[in-house]
Structure 1
Amino acid sequence: MANVLPAERRLEVLAALVNGTSIRAASRMTGVHQDTIGRFGQAIGEGCARLHDRLVRDLTCALVDLDEQHSWCRKRQNKVDAAKDDAGSVGEQWTWAAICRTSKLIVAWHVGKRDQESADALVEDVRARLAVMPQITTDGLGLYAQPIAANFGRAVPYMQTVKNFSSRPGKPGTSEKFAVERGVDFIQKRTIFGTPDPAKATNYAIERSNLTARQWNARLRRRTLAFSKKLSRHCAAVALHYVYVNLCHIPRNMRVTPAMAAGITDTAWTLEMLMDAALEEPAGEKPEPQPLAIPKPEGTARALPAGRGWLRVLPGGSAPSAPSAPQPPPVAPVATGAATTEPAAPQQPVTVDRTGQLDLFGWRPKPGVPAQLRLFDDPPDDAE
């Protein structure tokens, strides 16, 4: 007979893992050996990744936020060890994630270094799971712009929110280590592509998701010994956390799970349902990119032919100015050097158009200015 844990004991281990317990602590709580817990966690985490590939497709997310967070694998790596690490499985590991802000659904994630390759992998995965052109928001990291333009096109509404830090004195009575602290002075929003709405550009959802990940996934927690010793188990732990949050967790400001809000499932999953589905999920294919539909913008808009987008009215425009009043007839010039028997006709007041509209056809020559620039040729004297 195969040495398999009973279902009740496996549920106890799984409940400990998804609630931020390390492997050694889960072993002390459940009485299961830590090597067995490690193998079980890797198996269910890899199954969760396959389950996510099958369920999370053809999403209609209007707002997508991207961010990355730091962690360790195998050991805390210094700069010398990082130069010797060719495989990239030792030391710093960054968890790149994308979230749908309206449903709080984790759309995609990627574990790797903080380089262009990891940014490309995340954006490509996000693109393959969407069916609608979203508004994308990231921080000021410059690695996102190139893959976003390559996968979504330069017409995608993409904005960066850049935090500007400054050093300030720490609280009185603190140690020398905390005598100077850094704080955020202001956040600058920069439009990179398209015409995004600045009022909808924020990273609060993905930042809150990163905080939840550090609290519920012991592999990501700072200043502890709970980080993974193998990269494969680190990736499995990340997949387990995100799938659990999508399918089983109900946020306190929502009444449904993120998967229910996104239309993926119609009920909240239990731990037993998640465990059975993840362990039985077969290997499948990754989602492929599909044509993106462009949502109708708010306000006045008109659809372009062949589904190429919308023609909309941007705020801040001015209405066309009304035509200027007709000018009075020209006044005959007075000959210089000759006496006149009849007084000159009084000059008509000049009407100034304050709308900024240039009226070329209403131009009239000024009397008594022979060297004036002519816009039109004078009619001949014998003209009727």
Structure 2
Amino acid sequence: MANVLPAEKRLAVLAALVDGNSERAAERMTGVERKTIRRFALRVGTAAQSLHNTMARDLALSLIESDEVWSFVKKKQSRVTPAEHAAGLGEAYAFTALAMPSRYVVTWHVGKRDETSAAAFVADLRARLVVMPSLTSDGFTAYPGAIGASFGPGVDYGQVIKNYTRGGQRDDDHRYEPPRSPFLTKRVVFGAPNIDAATTAHVERHNGTLRHHIGRMRRLVCAFSKAPEHHRAAVALGLTHYNLCHIVSTIRVTPAVAAGVTRHVWDLAELLDALLSVPETPAPSAKPLAPRKPEGTARELPGNRGFLRVVQGGAAPSPPVAPAPPPPAPEPVAPAPPPPAPEPVAALAHVEPSALAADQPRQLDLLSWRPKPRIPQQLTLFDIDPPRK
């Protein structure tokens, strides 16, 4: 391949690929035939995995976030037959492990979103570390078993779970993430992680950068992968270029420099020379993990046996409080004298007004109603009945 394409053409094709362009767009930009670009992309992508295996080993990174990025190969999952599913077609999730605060991608794995891919991804992450990390992931159910099998129950691991529900109903529109509270719930799985600081926001932000630099991972475009090996090569090339050449604006260096993997920022020509000359290198094997130095109050135990930490949990018992004195009893209140009894009304109902004394007040009887006497004859001014003749 190197004998066919000039160095300037190879560099131009590599620049077009790592900037998120498709093979057809790279063909229009560089004038190189698309089939040649496809073979070149497969070669440098496979070499990128070997270059990463050479450099990403014996890492002392203590804070790692993991997530999965959806994509597909050749067909959507609903149209894939069982034989095509076994061949790697359909859904292709990219598992990524992002170290903080350096933003260095420790490892990745392209496969189905199942227990097999999660176990392979976590085992490769464990093989590249020499310090017991603090892990944070989303609520994928395959993570606890895989992390427990590779790191053991002594690892500090917490999950940040997203609740895609609104009013008790599932919200299937995931284009825009809802507000993070109370949309997110956190829980401790292993160890004693700082659950208040646990987050997956940085690796989720990195997913957007990953889709920007790898054109075949974007949604609703025609630049998707047609073969699984080409998709894995594209992911490896994009993430290797991100680690070595991409300057993160918040830290102003590349993630590899921030993580201590390299001492300088690589340019594209240096990356191309390394990809064309690196030998095939397998992934590293696991080594014993040293205890991680805690962020909070801790004391190191002798013999390199770890740290004695202060873990938030039960509060110290408060000193006993003396009971408050009882309130004073209220003073007795003398009962009020009863009101004078009213005179019976019925006794005055039949008393004639002349029988009362002149200086005695009269009392009206409102309850002693009697009908008026009927008048035997009533005078009228008009004759109601006309006189009879």
Question: 3-state DSSP class of the match of 1:78?
Answer: helix
Matched, 1:255 2:252: yes
Cα 1:272–1:196 shift into 2, 3 Å: same
Q: Is the 8 A contact 1:82 1:91 kept in 2?
A: no
In the other structure, the counterpart of 1:73 is: 73
Alignment of 1:238-317 (within 5 A): 238-315=235-312
How big is the shift at 1:69?
1.0
How big is the shift at 1:186?
1.9
Superposition RMSD on alpha carbons, in Å? 2.4
Matched, 1:214 2:211: yes
Question: 3-state DSSP class of the match of 1:68?
Answer: strand
Question: 3-state DSSP class of the match of 1:109?
Answer: strand
In the other structure, the counterpart of 1:115 is: 114
Moved more, 1-10 or 156-165: 1-10
Question: 3-state DSSP class of the match of 1:37?
Answer: helix
Q: Deviations over 1:19-64 (max 9, x none)?
A: 1100001101111110000000010011110000000111111110
Q: 2:177, 2:209 → 1: CA distance?
A: 23
Question: 3-state DSSP class of the match of 1:47?
Answer: helix
In the other structure, the counterpart of 1:195 is: 192
Q: Is the 8 A contact 1:73 1:91 kept in 2?
A: yes
Question: 3-state DSSP class of the match of 2:163?
Answer: strand
Counterpart amino acid of residue 14 in structure 2: L
Counterpart amino acid of residue 67 in structure 2: D
Question: 3-state DSSP class of the match of 2:219?
Answer: coil
Q: Deviations over 1:348-367 (max 9, x none)?
A: xxxxx549xxxxxxxxxxxx
How big is the shift at 1:138?
0.4
How big is the shift at 1:314?
2.6
Counterpart amino acid of residue 148 in structure 2: A
Amino-acid identity (%): 48
Q: 2:207, 2:213 → 1: CA distance?
A: 10
Counterpart amino acid of residue 11 in structure 1: L
Q: Deviations over 1:233-254 (max 9, x none)?
A: 1111000000000000101111
Unpaired runs of 5+ residues, structure 1, are 169-176, 323-352, 356-384
2:223 to 222, 226, 231: 226
How big is the shift at 1:317?
5.4
In the other structure, the counterpart of 2:45 is: 45
Q: 1:3, 1:273 → 2: CA distance?
A: 18
> Highest Rg: 1 or 2?
2
Q: Is the 8 A contact 2:192 2:311 kept in 1?
A: no
Q: 2:316, 2:188 → 1: CA distance?
A: 26
Q: Is the 8 A contact 1:13 1:30 kept in 2?
A: yes
In the other structure, the counterpart of 1:152 is: 151
Question: 3-state DSSP class of the match of 1:196?
Answer: coil
Matched, 1:4 2:1: no
Alignment of 1:94-105 (within 5 A): 94-105=93-104
Unpaired runs of 5+ residues, structure 2, are 323-389
How big is the shift at 1:199?
2.8
In the other structure, the counterpart of 2:136 is: 137
Matched, 1:19 2:16: no
Q: Deviations over 1:109-135 (max 9, x none)?
A: 011111111001110011011111111
Question: 3-state DSSP class of the match of 2:161?
Answer: strand
Question: Structure 2-normalised TM-score?
Answer: 0.76
Moved more, 5-14 or 82-91: 82-91
Q: Is the 8 A contact 1:20 1:217 kept in 2?
A: yes
Q: Is the 8 A contact 1:88 1:113 kept in 2?
A: no
